[in-house]
Amino acid sequence: MAQTPDAVLKDIRAKRYKPLYFLHGDEPFYIDLIAEELESRIVPESERGFNQFVLYGKDTDVAGVLSYARRFPFMAERQLVLVKEAHKLGGIDQKESQTRLEEYANNPPPSTVLVFCFHANADERKVFVKAMNTHGVVVQSKKMYDNKLPEWVTSFCQNEGVKISPKAIQMLVDNIGNDLKRLSNEIRKIMVNLRVDQGIDAEVVERFVGISKEYNVFEFQKALIMRDVMKANQIISYFSANAKDNPLAPILIILYNFFSKVLLAHASADKSEKGLAASLGVNPYFVKDYMTALRNYPLPKVVRVIHYLRESDGRLKGLDGVSTSEGELLKELVFKIIH
């Protein structure tokens, strides 16, 4: 059975190593993180010149990798053979090479840790992948859904030993999206600049990540919730002046996700803070936004707003055959939503 990235990292950090790791998927963050952990732990630094080999798929083939893997380590307990970009490995799609991998996986030498970083989704039904799963570890690293990102950021910060406010989480998620590598790098960049007793709040994010505390998607959504015409238009002007950093497509996705949840909130039997937090699957800190939206946007209006968002997405993609700037599209959209 394939394991989760967190479970595998826990075993590696506890020195419970396997002879085989097959890391695959469309989210590079965990593939790279597991590979880095193995690189830093399997072979002592003084022995890496002799017993640690980093190969690249585009430069070798399955036979070449297995020849390294079958060697004995030089005056050491084990060696590491790490194959990066394994999806480009010569022969990886050929039956003969897959049979060789299966044979190796069924009887891997205990003195070698062989790691494949396969930066694509592999078919886990393949016989050689099944064999690796039986005698080693198979991990699929999947792209994270947007609604899981706040929870991921919270967990990441807890593991790093730093507190982060809900607003700071939302600012990071809204502006960076589901690029886990960039999210983690930005959080670590912030941490380097924190005092020992300091947490991450909105002001810190604004200062070190360059996200405006007043003019960001989070505040834009809040202005729409409050039906604050002046604030919404101020933010639109800022977005238009900084179009490269504030593209319309991600804004539409964020607003669509929000108003879709408002639609669910209208259908919820329990409209208390606790009830909505549970039914919508959101942090209780943000429930008040949904309660305000329920008051300011009756059900028929929410349905129309979702239609406007879909319509704007189509126009952004040129489906109406008319060329309109992103700034003008956003102005029209906000007018329709608020009025």
Q: What is the CATH number of the domain that holds 52?
A: 3.40.50.300
User: Which of 159, 181, 209 delimits the end of a domain?
Assistant: 209
Contacts of 337 (CB under 8 A, 6+ apart): 224, 305, 308
Look at phi and psi of residue 114 and say left if phi exceeds 0, alpha if psi is from -120 to 50, else beta. Answer: beta
The answer to whether residues 330 and 237 touch, using CB atoms and an 8 Å cutoff, is: no
* Per-residue pLDDT, 10: 92
- The DSSP bridge partners found for residue 61 are 90
CATH number at residue 182: 1.10.8.60
Residue 321's pLDDT is what?
Answer: 67
Contact 128, 102 (CB under 8 A): yes
Domain count, the chain: 3
Q: Which two tokens stand for residue 282?
A: 């959101």
Residues of the chain with pLDDT under 50: none
Q: 333 near 239, Cβ under 8 Å?
A: no
Nearest C-alpha neighbor of 121 from the set 109, 103, 139:
139
Tokens of 8: 């595998």
- 63 and 178 fall within a common domain: no
Which residue, among 53, 126, 134, 68, has the nearest Cα to 92 in the 3D structure?
126
Q: What CATH number is given to the structural domain containing 326?
A: 1.20.272.10
Q: Are residues 252 and 151 in the same domain?
A: no
Q: Among residues 86, 120, 140, which one ends one of the domains?
A: 140
Tell me, yes or no, whether 64 and 162 share the same domain: no
Q: What is the rounded distance in angstroms from the CA atom of residue 136 to the CA atom of residue 127? A: 14
What was the pLDDT predicted at 1? 54
Instruction: Find the DSSP H helices in 194-286.
Output: 202-209, 217-225, 229-241, 248-267, 273-280
Our CA angle for 43, 137, 129, nearest 5°, is 120
Task: Give percent helix, percent strand, percent coil of the chain, each to the nearest 5.
Answer: 60, 10, 30
Say yes or no: 175 and 247 in one domain.
no
In a shared domain, residues 194 and 265: no
- Same domain flag for 250 and 189: no
Assess whether 190 and 244 both reside in one domain.
no
CB 156 within 8 A of CB 59: no
Residues 240, 242: Cα–Cα separation, whole Å: 5
Beta bridge partners of 139: 3, 23
- Same domain, yes or no: 276 and 312: yes
* Residue 2, pLDDT score: 66
Q: Are residues 318 and 246 in the same domain?
A: yes
Model's pTM, two decimal places?
0.72
9 and 102 in a single domain? The answer is: yes
CA distance 74 to 182: 38
Q: Which of these three, 140, 158, 187, is where a domain ends?
A: 140
Q: Which domain holds residue 195?
A: 146-209
Place of tokens 């305000």: 292
- One domain, residues 297 and 252: yes
Contact residues for 5 (Cβ-Cβ < 8 A; gap 6+): 30, 33, 34, 139, 141
Are residues 133 and 13 both part of a single domain? yes
